[in-house]
Structure 1
Amino acid sequence: MTPEQLAAAIRQALQAAVDEGAFTAPVPDEVRVERPKQREHGDWTTNIALQLAKPAGMPPRELATTLATRLAATDGIASADVAGPGFVNISLDAASAGELARTIVEAGADYGRTDTGAGTRVNLEFVSANPTGPIHLGGTRWAAVGDSLARILEATGAQVTREYYFNDHGAQIDRFARSLLAAARHEPTPEDGYAGAYIDEIAARVLDIEPDALSADDPQERFRAIGVDLMFAEIKKTLSDFGVEFDVYFHENDLHESGAVDRAIERLKALDAMYEKDGAWWLRTTAHGDDKDRVVIKSDGQPAYISGDLAYYLDKRERGFDEVIIMLGADHHGYVSRMMAMCALYGDEPGRNLQILIGQMVNLVKDGQPVRMSKRAGTVVVLDDLVQAVGRDAARYAITRTSIDSPLDIDLDLLAKRSNDNPVFYVQYAHARTCNVARLAAEDGVRREDGFDPALLSDPTEAALLAILGELPRVVEQAARLREPHRVARYLEDLAGRFHKWYDTCRVRPQNADEPVTDVHRTRLWLNDATRQVLATGLGLLGVGAPERM
């Protein structure tokens, strides 16, 4: 019995009680079941009696007793007991619990997927590093977390567009072009410019492509045009090698050249969301919680930086996206209030139509000391440095397993270890071990199709393993709803731990050549393969490989 099937059984029991006059209250369309904090309290618990007590006009424990009595008589439920102020703790019989193994194997990669996000179009913007240098560790965090969040949202049925905002307009690009030109002329780096070996490399490549670039009418423009394309091509390749692909690369310059900024301003003026003062046009952001109104058009008639944000958000909504999610670094906290005010001024709902996620800093640590410099970038550590040090899987997993609200120190020494202390090794090794169990079982003639008796999965380690396997759909839904991919990683680590304990206790293969293959072996193979599927699914949601051998 899956958690969804149990929730349906609870709802049916409640509806039957209402139909028979035991109490009167609206039965909700969905009933939540959760794992009790202590295993001895049962397989599942529900607080539905506490929720319905007030509308039913009866004490919670009395309603819970009515529900527990009906559930105890339900096929597949061994017991249902009332606890505390009105919780109902439920234990499944072994056969009902064990049936989950077959459900998972037969569902394959679809197990864990839900439809809670079906019908929702999501625009997820992440990384969006300026094309002025390699992706630093802050962008690396968003690359891993953003791509994982997109995969998780898609697992709930949402239609997700991964979008990269290409900042090819403004002062930073000019500084980049001046830096390239100085490098090509063998001059010192401009005071406000970019330094590092990558600048020399790109400057040389510009000259390879256009040998006469230094003698052009506007050499800085030639180095800007060619250099930005080269840098961005390198960024794209770095991200692709990291397992991150984007559906849309949106150029900031297009907003200004297409008239999108002017259209956004006219829309806001029509909504009375702007006013003129001191020769400038201001946005009424204080009306929705910002600390001050924001200048959109300066007194000299030039658009302020926020004008591009106004146009870009409106463009996304006009493209049909229900939810716009933007991932930003820790230095953007002050940006949130003005963006949420902008959302409200358009008539949208902040926190739903527009969501902004802020991620904290990332540091690399080796030998207990911070790693501060990149050999190539010169001033910061970049994505390629991390992948070169520990590999793509370890890098993605290490980043994604920690909440974005917390600063992250990545221990390079730990991630290089092939031991259980290394969390990505621990989880991947569990998957490889399930594959090895299946290979060896096949050699001994243990085949799933020859038998399955879920009642035989009665060992405590089997009950614990089945219990956590049943949690995957809830974990995926919660990770999507809260925008927290790290919940999937932590779930996988718990699952790996329970699998390893089961592996140490229960044999899938006969112990020796004289021992016959029985339904116990075959049924345990179902459980092993169910675990393999869930581990592979979870690792896939994080963009991490599921190796079959290690």
Structure 2
Amino acid sequence: MTPADLSLTVLHAVRRAVDEGALRVGVPARVKVERPRPGGTGDYASSVALSLARPSGLDARAVAAILKERLHDSPGVRSVDITGPGFLNFTLEDGGQDQVVREILAAGALYGHSSLLSGQRIRLRATDEPRARLLTETVLALLRSQGADARLDPAGERIPVLPAPYEPHLLGTDAARWALLRPAAHDRALSGAPLLVQHERNPLFRVRYAHARSRALLRNGAQLGISAAYAEPVDAPDLLTLLGDHPDVLASAARHRAPDRVARHLEGLADAFLAYQHTVLPLGDEKPSAAHRSRLALAEAAGTVLAGGLSLLGISAPDQI
């Protein structure tokens, strides 16, 4: 179960409680789930009960208890606990992270795309300022990835942005786009020259290099007769967590008109993958096994998510660097 799946599961529990008359509130458009804060338990947590307490006229822990009753038998959820003033804490079934890998390999570059904003009609205003135009174009792609009917309209919403030149003629398309999209819209654009250096200090290089390494591992695995197949759990919690968070990152970036959230997420994912890559293929006299096939499948999944995220930013993901 991914964070996006869990968010929908909790939202369905709220709707059920409202339909049954246990809660008298408006059903929110979405429910946020995140990593538990200090004092929390399990894999994920939600503060939805706290936000519904005042409009329902109930104590937050009472709201949490109502929702817990409707969540305890949800597929993929092992247990639900209430902590603090009314946080819901979720422990997922074993194999939840395994399912993330399988979902990525099944969905390919569309992993993280959803119908979360389906039915929403969003119009954005294009301007002649280069950074604003690029940001608007990228936000439209993010909104469409979440199912929104998103288009340009002279009377539409304008996204505030600190102006900066777009210089593909000097930097190439990839570095020019990263320079404008990686910082938050209200921050200064990045200096272009460091983005052309093929070194680990360059975050754009790390992200694209991580993708290239994932593809190289697949090629090397094929030469050893190892195909990617997720058959058993892999001990790579940081990488698996970031992969599972990807759908929520895309949804958040779309809602907040913030492509920088995708870029930051890709940096973290690339760093986690580059730390993991050395464990994938057999070393020395080690024989290929189901463990290597599973590790290779995780490497393929990481490369798939890196490529998909870069594509939404309009940046290429080369198979070789």
In structure 1, C-alpha distance between the alignment counterparts of 2:160 and 2:55, rounded to whole Å:
40
1:491 and 2:304 matched:
no
Give the equivalent residue in structure 2 for 1:260: none
1:403-422 deviation digits (Å, cap 9, x = unpaired):
2222335152x223212221
Matches within 5 A, 1:314-463: 324=153, 354-362=156-164, 383=166, 386-412=167-193, 414-449=194-229, 452-453=231-232, 456-457=233-234, 459=235, 462-463=236-237
Shift of 1:542: 0.9
Give the equivalent residue in structure 2 for 1:122: 123
* Conserved? CA contact 1:360–1:406, under 8 Å: yes
Give the equivalent residue in structure 2 for 1:534: 305
Shift of 1:117: 4.8
In structure 1, C-alpha distance between the alignment counterparts of 2:15 and 2:150, rounded to whole Å:
37
Q: Percent identity?
A: 32
Report how many aligned residue pairs link the two structures: 319
Deviates more, 1:60-69 or 1:397-406: 60-69
Shift of 1:65: 4.5
Instruction: Report SS of the residue matched to 1:88.
Output: strand
Shift of 1:89: 2.0
Shift of 1:78: 4.0
In structure 1, C-alpha distance between the alignment counterparts of 2:49 and 2:262, rounded to whole Å:
29
Give the equivalent residue in structure 2 for 1:480: 254
Shift of 1:26: 5.0
In structure 2, C-alpha distance between the alignment counterparts of 1:439 and 1:151, rounded to whole Å:
31
CA 1:45 to 1:540, structure 2 compared with 1: closer, same or farther past 3 Å? same
* Conserved? CA contact 2:79–2:90, under 8 Å: yes
Shift of 1:57: 4.7
Instruction: Report SS of the residue matched to 1:465.
Output: helix
In structure 2, C-alpha distance between the alignment counterparts of 1:2 and 1:465, rounded to whole Å:
14
Unaligned runs of 5+ in 2: none
1:183-223 deviation digits (Å, cap 9, x = unpaired):
xxxxxxxxxxxxxxxxxxxxxxxxxxxxxxxxxxxxxxxxx
In structure 2, C-alpha distance between the alignment counterparts of 1:394 and 1:54, rounded to whole Å:
48
* Conserved? CA contact 1:485–1:542, under 8 Å: yes
In structure 2, C-alpha distance between the alignment counterparts of 1:478 and 1:486, rounded to whole Å:
11
Amino acid at match of 2:219: R
In structure 2, C-alpha distance between the alignment counterparts of 1:11 and 1:477, rounded to whole Å:
15
Give the equivalent residue in structure 2 for 1:269: none
* Conserved? CA contact 1:43–1:467, under 8 Å: no
Give the equivalent residue in structure 1 for 2:10: 10
In structure 1, C-alpha distance between the alignment counterparts of 2:23 and 2:151, rounded to whole Å:
45
In structure 1, C-alpha distance between the alignment counterparts of 2:222 and 2:120, rounded to whole Å:
43
Instruction: Report SS of the residue matched to 1:355.
Output: coil
Shift of 1:106: 0.5
Amino acid at match of 1:91: T
* Conserved? CA contact 1:36–1:45, under 8 Å: yes
1:50-81 deviation digits (Å, cap 9, x = unpaired):
23334555432244345447645544334433
Give the equivalent residue in structure 2 for 1:28: 27
Instruction: Report SS of the residue matched to 1:547.
Output: coil
In structure 1, C-alpha distance between the alignment counterparts of 2:53 and 2:136, rounded to whole Å:
41
CA 1:51 to 1:544, structure 2 compared with 1: closer, same or farther past 3 Å? same
Amino acid at match of 2:250: V
CA 1:444 to 1:546, structure 2 compared with 1: closer, same or farther past 3 Å? same
In structure 1, C-alpha distance between the alignment counterparts of 2:135 and 2:158, rounded to whole Å:
14
1:223-244 deviation digits (Å, cap 9, x = unpaired):
xxxxxxxxxxxxxxxxxxxxxx
Matches within 5 A, 1:236-255: none
Matches within 5 A, 1:159-238: 159-161=149-151
In structure 1, C-alpha distance between the alignment counterparts of 2:308 and 2:143, rounded to whole Å:
14
CA 1:498 to 1:80, structure 2 compared with 1: closer, same or farther past 3 Å? farther
Structure with the bigger percentage of strand: 1
1:365-401 deviation digits (Å, cap 9, x = unpaired):
xxxxxxxxxxxxxxxxx75xx4354322111111111
Shift of 1:151: 1.9
In structure 1, C-alpha distance between the alignment counterparts of 2:8 and 2:137, rounded to whole Å:
33
CA 1:157 to 1:65, structure 2 compared with 1: closer, same or farther past 3 Å? closer
Shift of 1:99: 0.3
Amino acid at match of 1:402: P
Instruction: Report SS of the residue matched to 1:548.
Output: coil
Larger radius of gyration: 1
Amino acid at match of 1:476: L
Amino acid at match of 2:220: L
CA 1:530 to 1:355, structure 2 compared with 1: closer, same or farther past 3 Å? same
* Conserved? CA contact 1:33–1:44, under 8 Å: no
* Conserved? CA contact 2:6–2:33, under 8 Å: no
Give the equivalent residue in structure 2 for 1:319: none
* Conserved? CA contact 2:179–2:189, under 8 Å: no
Instruction: Report SS of the residue matched to 2:95.
Output: helix
Q: Of residues 125, 139, 151 in structure 1, which corresponds to 2:141?
A: 151
Q: Aligned Cα RMSD in Å?
A: 3.1
Give the equivalent residue in structure 2 for 1:81: 81
1:240-262 deviation digits (Å, cap 9, x = unpaired):
xxxxxxxxxxxxxxxxxxxxxxx
TM-score (norm 2): 0.84
In structure 1, C-alpha distance between the alignment counterparts of 2:113 and 2:218, rounded to whole Å:
25
In structure 2, C-alpha distance between the alignment counterparts of 1:120 and 1:11, rounded to whole Å:
22
1:462-488 deviation digits (Å, cap 9, x = unpaired):
333222222333222222222222222
Matches within 5 A, 1:259-278: none
Amino acid at match of 1:489: A
Shift of 1:16: 6.7
Give the equivalent residue in structure 2 for 1:109: 109
In structure 1, C-alpha distance between the alignment counterparts of 2:3 and 2:107, rounded to whole Å:
15
Amino acid at match of 1:452: A
1:266-287 deviation digits (Å, cap 9, x = unpaired):
xxxxxxxxxxxxxxxxxxxxxx
Deviates more, 1:540-549 or 1:7-16: 7-16
* Conserved? CA contact 1:81–1:89, under 8 Å: yes
CA 1:161 to 1:20, structure 2 compared with 1: closer, same or farther past 3 Å? closer
Give the equivalent residue in structure 2 for 1:64: 64
Shift of 1:102: 0.6
